[in-house]
A and B are shown apart, each in its own frame.
Chain A
C-alpha cells in the first residue's frame, strides 16, 4: 500500500532517507517549472532544484504539517530562486541592440499595428525573457508571481515572507522598473 505524505515525512525524520525519494518524485515537476521561471540554462535549473530538495531535507523538522507539504516546499523553491537571482545578475546592463530579426519584426508590428503583434509569438516570448533578465531580483520575483503567475498579494506574502505593504510597494516599483527598461529598449532601437 502506498504510504501517505505524513508517513513518508515521519519516516524521513526517523532517519530513513530513502522515504524522501517518493516526495522528490512527486513534487519535482513543480520545482523544475518554478526554477525555469528564473533560470534559463538547464544546468542552473537543475542546480536550483537540487538545492531546494537538499534544503527541504535539512529543514524537514521545521515542517509542522499545518499547511500542505507542497506549500511549504514551494516557499522554499521561491526563496531559493530569489537567492539565485541575487547571485546571478548578469545581462542586466547590456543594451537592446542585439535583438534577433523575429524580435525586431515583432516590435515593428507592435509599433505600427499593436493588435497584430501576437502575445503567443516566439519573438514575444524571447523579448519578455530579455526584459525580465534586466529587472532587479526583487522586481523580477514580484512581476513573475503577481503578473505572470497571477498570484494574490496574500500568496506572495506566504511565498516570500515579505509583509503585505512590502509586497505592494515592491510591486509598484517593479512595474515602474519594467516600464523604464521598455523605454530603454525603445530608445536603443529607435534613437
Chain B
C-alpha cells in the first residue's frame, strides 16, 4: 500500500469535508446567563466573607 499517497488522499478527504458551523439554539443567551450567575455567585461569596 502506498502510504504517502494514502496520506494525501485522506488529508484531501478531510479538506473536502469542512466541519459545520451551526450553533445550538440560544447559545449566546446561555453564555450570558452563565456569566450572570457566575457574577452573582462571586458577589455572594464576597458578602459571606465580610
Q: Which residues of B contact A (CB under 8 A)?
A: 1-7, 9-24, 27-32, 34-36, 39
Query: Does A54 make an interface contact (CB < 8 A)?
Result: yes
Q: Which residues of A contact B (CB under 8 A)?
A: 17-18, 20-22, 24-25, 28-30, 32-33, 36-37, 42, 46, 49-50, 53-54, 57, 110-111, 114, 117, 119-121, 124-125, 127-128, 131-132, 143, 147-148, 150, 175, 178-179, 182-183, 186, 190
The answer to whether residues A124 and B2 also contact, given A28-B28, A33-B18, A33-B21 and a CB cut-off of 8 A, is: no
Q: Are B16 and A119 in contact (CB under 8 A)?
A: yes
Q: Are B14 and A148 in contact (CB under 8 A)?
A: yes
In the assembled complex, the CB of A2 is this many whole angstroms from the nearest CB of chain B, namely 15
Residues of B within 8 A of A114 (CB): 2, 5, 9
Q: Are A182 and B7 in contact (CB under 8 A)?
A: yes
A124 vs B22: C-alpha distance in the bound complex, in angstroms?
23
Q: Are A121 and B21 in contact (CB under 8 A)?
A: no
A182 vs B9: C-alpha distance in the bound complex, in angstroms?
12
Q: Are A179 and B3 in contact (CB under 8 A)?
A: yes
Q: Are A128 and B11 in contact (CB under 8 A)?
A: yes
Residues of B within 8 A of A21 (CB): 28-29, 31-32
A-B contact pairs, 15 of them (CB 8 A): A17-B32, A21-B29, A21-B31, A24-B27, A24-B28, A32-B21, A33-B20, A54-B31, A110-B1, A114-B5, A124-B10, A125-B13, A179-B7, A182-B1, A183-B3
Residues of A within 8 A of B6 (CB): 110, 182
Q: Are A17 and B36 in contact (CB under 8 A)?
A: yes
A42 vs B23: C-alpha distance in the bound complex, in angstroms?
10
Which of chain A's residues has its CB closest to B27's CB? A28
Q: Are A24 and B32 in contact (CB under 8 A)?
A: yes
A110 vs B22: C-alpha distance in the bound complex, in angstroms?
33
The answer to whether residues A147 and B11 also contact, given A18-B32, A21-B32 and a CB cut-off of 8 A, is: yes
Q: Are B31 and A111 in contact (CB under 8 A)?
A: no
- Residue picked from A37, A147, A175, most chain B C-beta under 10 Å: A147
